[in-house]
Amino acid sequence: MDRKEYEKRVDFKKLPEHIAIIMDGNGRWANRKFMPRTMGHKAGMEALHRTVETCAEIKIPVLSVYAFSTENWKRPAEEVNYLMQLLVEYIDKEIAELHRNNIKIMITGDYASLPVECIKSIEKALKRTKDNTGMIFNIALNYGSRREIVKAVNSIAEKISKGEIEPGNIDEDLISSLLYTHDIPDPDLLIRTAGEMRISNFMLWQIAYTELFITPLLWPDFDRDALMQAIWSFQQRERRFGGLK
């Protein structure tokens, strides 16, 4: 099917409630064009703008994107510094439009460990959009799912030591309530670009029954047609959550 045809076939009354995206391939995109990796990240920001705009337009309730992982600190310092600068640039450039479109920004991860300039931009965006009632735009920053789960386990251990809960009362709801994402539903659809077949420590608890869509497109090339293809693919699946229909 031609990529342009998917949007015509999408049922806009049965959209996923929460779409999560692992944005991958910026560096490869730049390498193929004989450009510095930084240019790939810059182009990736443009793809992000398109995706947020489309998701808000078609009224996806929650969009989560994996922007910077706890493992990304292993990259060269020059690239990490550029990514931090790009984060500030993106927020400062996009915040007015996001707010105008009633989009609420949410941060998943330990953003307090980022550079001061990043923290200031993030907190300004959080404050400005906190009362918005449209799409939740959840940005995973300095995020690692294993660290998130360890944090939840430590919180439970502290509650037990204080006598606030009994060990026998630990259940899935309690753990979920202690994750960064406790205020939003688990993803229905997880999209990963660049053809990579792995989760990369992203929302391991939350994606237990999430539908996966892997596209060979590099993230800077991801566009409205690609998003519609992913949504259409999601709508063709029978979600049984371990049961039978």
What single string gives the DSSP state of each residue in 32-75? HTT--HHHHHHHHHHHHHHHHHHHHHTT-SEEEEEEEEGGGGGS
Residue 24 is a catalytic residue: yes
Nearest to 68 by CA among 104, 50, 44: 44
Q: Encoding tokens for residue 214?
A: 């892997």
pLDDT value for 2: 78
3-state secondary structure (DSSP) of residue 136: strand
Nearest to 145 by CA among 202, 64, 70, 72: 202
* Residue 162: DSSP 8-state: T
Cβ atoms of 12 and 58 within 8 Å: the answer is yes
Summarised one tens digit per residue, pLDDT across range 210-230 is: 999 999 999 999 999 999 999
pLDDT value for 196: 96
pLDDT value for 55: 98
Active-site residue identified among 72, 101, 132, 201: 72
Residue 223 is a catalytic residue: no
The helix or strand, by DSSP H or E, that contains position 217, with its residue range, turns out to be none
C-alpha–C-alpha distance, residues 153 and 158, integer Å? 9
pLDDT value for 1: 79
pLDDT value for 106: 98
pLDDT value for 244: 66
pLDDT value for 4: 81
Please list the ranges in the chain whose pLDDT falls under 50.
Answer: none
Active-site residue identified among 24, 26, 138, 142: 24
* Alpha helix segments (H runs only) across the chain: 6-9, 26-32, 37-57, 77-100, 116-129, 145-161, 172-177, 224-235
pLDDT value for 161: 96
pLDDT value for 217: 98
Which CATH class for the 17-144+187-234 domain?
Answer: alpha beta
